[in-house]
A and B are shown apart, each in its own frame.
Chain A
Amino acid sequence: MTRGPTWFNITSLIAGFSFLYLPIVLLVIYSFNESRLVTVWGGFSTKWYVSLLQNDQLLDAAWVTLRVAFVSASIATVLGTLAALVLVRSGRFVGRTLFSGMIFAPLVMPEVILGLSLLLLFVAMDQTRGFWTVMLAHTTFSMCYVAVVVQSRLVGFDKSMEEAAEDLGCPPVKTFFLITLPIILPGVIAGWMLAFTLSLDDLVIASFTTGPGATTLPMKIYSQVRLGVTPEINAVCTILVALVTLGVIAASIATKRQQVQRERDERAAFGAEG
């Protein structure tokens, strides 16, 4: 029996990771390129990051994107959590299957169709398209993701905790805020973060529903790339990659620490009983 990795394992691992990450690594490297030509290395420089700070168009687009993402993620979290509560808690009611199917349909619906139908709706309603329409559109599709995440958290929820709270004299609405919400909070936060990221990098739906003055960052990048990739775009993307990586690392460290703490607590508890 061979322990440890074989040559086959190592090769496939390297191949797999290169496939996933080589393009991103190249992008990061070329963002520090001195040369204006994207594919020719002209020495190390951070000048594209400096010029980025002076590019008002890109900065504006980034600000719009952040605002859209924040507001839509927050609204989607409230609506998605309510939907998940109804799905998990209400038991069987007429139209439950239809309701749950319709909640999850946007997950598999092609974005183009969603974007187009929203555009038609906004036109029919005679809405001037801009910040609010993008925000509403993002809320619509990210709400489904929140519902899925929160639902999985609610399924493992012991309903007798709510009953216990009521039994001890706490009315139902107060019980929700004192007991239910704090317990499902990790799921709600995860749902919010998912909605936030989805909104951040959405291109298709945003381009259908946006109007003048509300260009999001992905749209800006896309339109600039069509005119030729500049190292400035590489710099923007590198910053985005760095942000996402930091977020993921922070989240996994937090989870790991929580787990270690939990194990230590449990050992202490059973040791004490010993």
Chain B
Amino acid sequence: MAKKSVGPVRREFTPWENPDHPPFIEFRNVSKKFGDFTAVRNLSLKIYEREFFALLGGSGCGKTTLMRMLAGFETPTSGQIFLDGQDLAGIPPYRRPSNMMFQSYALFPHMSVEKNIAFGLKQDKLPQAEIDDRVAEMLRLTKLEQFAKRKPHQLSGGQRQRVALARSLAKRPKVLLLDEPLGALDRKLREETQFELMNLQEELKMTFLIVTHDQEEAMTVADRIAVMDKGELIQVATPSEIYEAPNSIYVADFIGDVNLIEATVSEVSEDGTKLHSTGEGFLIESSQTTEAAPGDKVWYAIRPEKVRIAKGQGDAGAFNQVTGIVWDIGYLGDVSIIHAKVGADNRDILRATFANVSRMVEDPITWDEDVVLSFDRDAGVILTR
């Protein structure tokens, strides 16, 4: 049997697994306080060269502050930031080898598209011929050739976004910082642009650091994601690890949809763990080993798409299955979500989703029907915090 891995493998690029690999960007015990408010709390993080790294979190979690400290717009209250081995302390933003794409795009309204793109190159006093070449290259890369002479207000939202991207890429920075770069675009354009960003990053062989509150965006583009909350890193891992093996209730709940089942540990062995769900009163057998001891209260997190649903009644004493009544059905086109009431007094709700793989369904599951919900031994994760 082939070795099981978590999710699809994106590319052969895992420098973080090698402890000797030198980091490209390093935050070392960085804190930032604004008055009484602590935006970033004693945070350490390593980001590697050519990595596409995402800082993910809700508003006010400190992700933007962290990026702004790297760009030089904020000074850390304590701690150090290194970029390519250089301590960035005391270096003003205009001397840092990073460039930033702003959430508001921050295009210069009084300059044409090509002047906007050339701005950074002019500050470096490059020869005019080289500036022209570079601008032309950027215009081609972002498909903006026909808009070169236009002013920002003569462009649509998507075009403005590309100008901002071209401007921040023009100087070929060591790191490109993207602050909610796609927030203002509509869904379809956002998805297209996500893939364009990934291709650009591959093509230019640069390190990208993106700040976003959109978990789908982070999952799509990033090699690794750091989930932040209240100025601290909760988990730093690949998108599939974050999704399939969250290390806490916060991460499990923040990323995607999840059933969180409160349970008590009944048996711990090398082979796995047995749990007894508190509310629903059903038995769970997990292949995961845990540090929790029998009697401890834990959470069992299972994604709705990993719950199988079938008509009928389950066996009362069997592991990893529970009988319920269909309470709600949500049809989303590609998938359907079923909310089933489970447990002794049908109090708790368990969610299951399934892909609508065929157009015509014989005898479909309907409201108020008895169903069996079941899942595999390795379908969910046991969380202790």
To the question of whether A and B form a pair in one complex, the answer is yes
Given A170-B123, A269-B159, the answer on whether A165 and B108 have CB atoms closer than 8 Å is: yes
Q: In the complex, how many residue pairs between chain A and chain B have their CB atoms under 8 Å apart?
A: 80
In the complex, which of the residues A166, A182, A266 contacts B153, with contact meaning CB atoms closer than 8 Å?
A: A266
- Quote the shortest CB–CB distance from B373 to chain A (angstroms): 46
Which residues of the partner chain A approach B171 to less than 8 Å between Cβ atoms? 168-169
Determine, out of A106-114, A155-163, A188-196, the stretch whose residues face the partner at the interface. Answer: A155-163
In the complex, which of the residues B98, B99, B124, B155 contacts A269, with contact meaning CB atoms closer than 8 Å?
A: B155
User: Of all chain B residues, which has the CB nearest A274?
Assistant: B156
Q: How far is the CA of A177 from the CA of B198 in the complex (A)?
A: 36
Contact between A163 and B153 (Cβ–Cβ < 8 Å)? Answer: no
Q: Is B313 an interface residue (CB 8 A)?
A: no
Q: Is B158 an interface residue (CB 8 A)?
A: yes
Which residues of the partner chain A approach B72 to less than 8 Å between Cβ atoms? 167
Q: Is A273 an interface residue (CB 8 A)?
A: yes
Q: How far is the CA of A169 from the CA of B94 in the complex (A)?
A: 4
Contact between B154 and A273 (Cβ–Cβ < 8 Å)? Answer: no
Q: How far is the CA of A161 from the CA of B100 in the complex (A)?
A: 11
- Quote the shortest CB–CB distance from B147 to chain A (angstroms): 8
- Quote the shortest CB–CB distance from A156 to chain B (angstroms): 12
Q: Is B344 an interface residue (CB 8 A)?
A: no
Contact between B123 and A168 (Cβ–Cβ < 8 Å)? Answer: yes
Q: Is B109 an interface residue (CB 8 A)?
A: yes
Contact between B154 and A265 (Cβ–Cβ < 8 Å)? Answer: yes
User: Of all chain B residues, which has the CB nearest A168?
Assistant: B120
Count of A residues near B, CB < 8 Å? Answer: 24
Cβ contacts B137-158/A at 8 Å (1 or 0 each)? 0000000000000110111101
User: Which residues 69-101 of B have a CB within 8 angstroms of A?
Assistant: 71-73, 92-96, 98-100
Contact between A273 and B156 (Cβ–Cβ < 8 Å)? Answer: yes
Which residues of the partner chain A approach B335 to less than 8 Å between Cβ atoms? none
In the complex, which of the residues A164, A172, A270 contacts B100, with contact meaning CB atoms closer than 8 Å?
A: A164
Q: Is A86 an interface residue (CB 8 A)?
A: no
User: Of all chain B residues, which has the CB nearest A170?
Assistant: B123
Contact between A268 and B154 (Cβ–Cβ < 8 Å)? Answer: yes
In the complex, which of the residues A158, A161, A183, A269 contacts B154, with contact meaning CB atoms closer than 8 Å?
A: A269
Which residues of the partner chain A approach B93 to less than 8 Å between Cβ atoms? 163, 166-167
Q: Is A36 an interface residue (CB 8 A)?
A: no
In the complex, which of the residues B94, B99, B155 contacts A170, with contact meaning CB atoms closer than 8 Å?
A: B94
Which residues of the partner chain A approach B103 to less than 8 Å between Cβ atoms? 160
- Quote the shortest CB–CB distance from B278 to chain A (angstroms): 49
In the assembled complex, 12 residue pairs joining A and B whose CB atoms fall closer than 8 Å, in A order, are: A163-B106, A167-B72, A167-B98, A169-B120, A169-B123, A171-B92, A269-B150, A269-B155, A269-B159, A272-B156, A272-B159, A273-B158
Interface set of A (CB-CB < 8 Å, partner B)? 158, 160-161, 163-172, 179, 182-183, 262, 265-266, 268-270, 272-273
Known: A164-B108, A167-B94. 6 other contacts (CB 8 A): A161-B106, A167-B72, A169-B120, A266-B154, A269-B156, A269-B159
